[in-house]
Structure formats: C-alpha cells, structure tokens
Amino acid sequence: MSDIPNVYDAEPIPQAAMAEVTRLLTTGDLFRYTAAADAPVSLLEAEFAAMMGTKYALAVSSCSAALFLSLKALGLPRDARVLIPGFTFGAVPSSVVHADCVPVLCECGDDYRIDLDDFTAKLPEVSAVIVSHMRGHTSDMDAIMALCEAAQVPVIEDAAHSLGTTWAGRKIGTIGRVGCFSFQSYKLVNAGEGGILITDDADLVARAIIMSGAYEHNWKKHPVLQDAFARWQNRLPLYNLRLSNLSAAIIRPQLAELPRRVRDGRRNHDLVAARLNASPWITVPEKLGPEERAPDSIQFNLNAMIEAETHAFEAAAAARGVKVQVFGLSTDNARAYWNWRFLGDIPDLPRTRAMLMRACDVRLPARLTEAECDVIADILLAAIADVMEPPRAYGT
C-alpha cells in the first residue's frame, strides 16, 4: 500500500553541504589537521560547543568512541567498575569493555529510566557512571547528580539519542562531567557515522584530544589551555578516533535544522502517544516533569498481554505495514542485556527484563507529517483490535 508512511528514509542533507563537500573533494583537504586553521572539524567543534553552552567539544568517529575516550580521559584504572543502565544499546557496555573497565548493570523501570533504588545500591561499588538516556528518555538527573556528587563518582552522559532534550531547562549532555552524542544516521543529526563529546573540564578534554589522535603537536589546533596539553604530551596512547572533514561538512549545516527537527519530532511523538494511550492495552509512559524531549521514535508498553498475543500484535502491525519491535522478543536485539554475552557473567535484572518483554519500539522520524503519524496510530490501534477483544468492564 502506497499510503503507509516510510519511516526509514533519511531527510536530505541541506544543500549548503553540497558546495562544501565539492570544495573538499576538489582540494582533497579531508584530514582535520592539514589546514593551519578553520578546518571543518574544528569549526564544527566551535559551533557545537557554542550551541550547547560548553567550553570544549571534541568531534570523533562515533558516540561509542566518545564514551570510550571519556572513560580513558577520566584516568580510570584497569578493571574499574562502571555503572550503566541495563537498558541501553550494546555499544555502551562494549565501550566500557574497550576501556578495560567492567560494566555493572543497573535495573531500569517500566518507564525505561534508571531505577534509583538499584542505582543507589550499586553506586558504592563503582568508580564512574554512564547514564544512557536511552531512546531519548531522561532519567532523574537531579537525583543521579546528587547521589554521584555525594559519592564523588564522575558521570558521563550518553546523550547519543538526546540532542535537543532539556532537563529543567539545562541541555542534556551538559549536566554530567562529559556528554557524548552520535551523528549516526538514526540520530537527529545524520552524517552516516560520527560523534562528539562536550565538557567544561580542560584537563579531561586535553587528554581526550591527545588520545583521539592529535599526535605530535596537532593539539595546538584545539582551543584549550596549552599547559594542559604540555602535561600529557607523549604520555597517552593515540587511539586515532578522529572525524573526517567530509563528515563535519555534512553535520555543520544540519545544526541549524535542529530546532525544527526537535519541534516536529515532539509534535509527532505526542500526537501518536495521545492516540495510543486511549487504548486499554497500551501505556505510553509519561515523561518526567523537568524533561522536554526531542523524540524520533515512540516506545510504549503492552498491558496484560501474554507473549503469544504480543507476537500476534507485532505480526498484525507488520501485515498492516508498520514495524513494531518488542525489545525483548526480537531475536538478538542489541538492546536486550541478555544478548551482551561478550560480558561473560550477565546478572539477571528482573525489572528490566519484564519491561523489555512488553516494551515496543516504533520509528517516528521528525519529517513525518501529522497525517502520516495518524496513519501509524491507526495501524497500531487496528493491529491491537486484530488480536485483542475489548476488555470487559467490571460487573458485566
């Protein structure tokens, strides 16, 4: 059927990128450290830091690379324990393993956010925390920051999917010691691949810059206190996780599109959420009070449906043209913690597991129109009606 919205295609890259990409291809100037100044990657860092209101930004090859470098730049010793949510993308525990640290998994609740009881219980065991704002859902940052400050444990924000989200008016990614973002194609800014970390900590960013591959004196092209670099010269490994000028040229003109994408993504999400919440079989968890989201997908929980009914709902939605993924039911899902077998010992997280077995994921890109969002809501509600009887009222 041709009237089913296509949720997979990306938005076109703004026209302004074309001229800059052509210039880079014509000159061959693709490496961030060739030009004496004003390389596209350096300009992106300056613009991103200004947009976020932070002192420093370092663009790298992915958000996973940014998480890895953040852990390394914190100077954590080998086998340091790092608390991460049990509901996140498999690249997050992987970045911890890559940094020679040990992930400790924290329970997440029905609202996809960090369970504060489990967080409080496990915090004394760890040397650092990564808060993944999974699918853009912000955990209670007031509580998390208060607990971590009291315990003197540094917080890295995995804001891969949270560009444009705010918490009590503060930009997500600026609340912890470091914030990490992704420019992979399924995020709000699309460069195919890419990432960036932001911080106000000069010494931390100096270490991250050197380790990202600012070999010899290339760090002189970064506007950071020079004595911070002098302290670390030749003392840190060069992991070479730099971003290419081509990627920066594709990212820079998209920053101006952000307010529109955030506004439309929120509108689309809230429209579909209100329609789905009218069904007794579906609950879309409320956002937390201080949170203003920037969604490009919707997550919702199926109520009191057994596994066979959940599968039947997925199949009915697919037959009608909308792909629904239940995180815990799709084979080898990278967001189901029991599939992170590279960790060796995987603890059981009963609350997170229960959530994953009924939490649905549907793409809802910002470029969809309201009419297209209505079609998606119609299909999801029709798929529920295909498999579930209306619940009987009490007393009948």
Give residues in contact with ligand PLP (CB under 6 A).
62-64, 88-89, 91-92, 132, 134, 158, 160-161, 182, 184, 195
- Cβ closest to ligand PLP, residue 89 vs residue 281: 89
Least gap, CB of 55 to ligand PLP (angstroms): 23
User: What does the alpha-carbon distance between residue 123 and residue 106 come to, in Å, rounded to a whole number?
Assistant: 9
**Among candidates 372, 188, 134, 360, which has minimal Cα distance to 271?**
372
Least gap, CB of 95 to ligand PLP (angstroms): 8
DSSP state for residue 168 in the 8-state scheme: T
Least gap, CB of 321 to ligand PLP (angstroms): 25
User: What does the alpha-carbon distance between residue 252 and residue 45 come to, in Å, rounded to a whole number?
Assistant: 9
Task: Please give the C-alpha separations between residue 275 and each of 289, 314, 374, in angstroms, as whole numbers.
Answer: 21, 18, 8
- Cβ closest to ligand PLP, residue 74 vs residue 379: 74
User: What does the alpha-carbon distance between residue 180 and residue 182 come to, in Å, rounded to a whole number?
Assistant: 7
Contact assessment for residue 163 and residue 258, using Cβ atoms and an 8 Å cutoff: yes
Contact assessment for residue 39 and residue 32, using Cβ atoms and an 8 Å cutoff: yes
Least gap, CB of 54 to ligand PLP (angstroms): 19
User: What does the alpha-carbon distance between residue 298 and residue 202 come to, in Å, rounded to a whole number?
Assistant: 37
- Given strand 170-171, what is the order of strands in its sheet? 170-171, 166-167, 291-292
- Cβ closest to ligand PLP, residue 89 vs residue 119: 89
Least gap, CB of 89 to ligand PLP (angstroms): 4
User: What does the alpha-carbon distance between residue 361 and residue 112 come to, in Å, rounded to a whole number?
Assistant: 12
- Cβ closest to ligand PLP, residue 87 vs residue 281: 87
Least gap, CB of 162 to ligand PLP (angstroms): 8
- Cβ closest to ligand PLP, residue 130 vs residue 375: 130
Least gap, CB of 280 to ligand PLP (angstroms): 31
User: What does the alpha-carbon distance between residue 279 and residue 266 come to, in Å, rounded to a whole number?
Assistant: 21
Write down the residue that tokens 């730099």 correspond to.
242
- Cβ closest to ligand PLP, residue 222 vs residue 335: 335
- Cβ closest to ligand PLP, residue 195 vs residue 310: 195
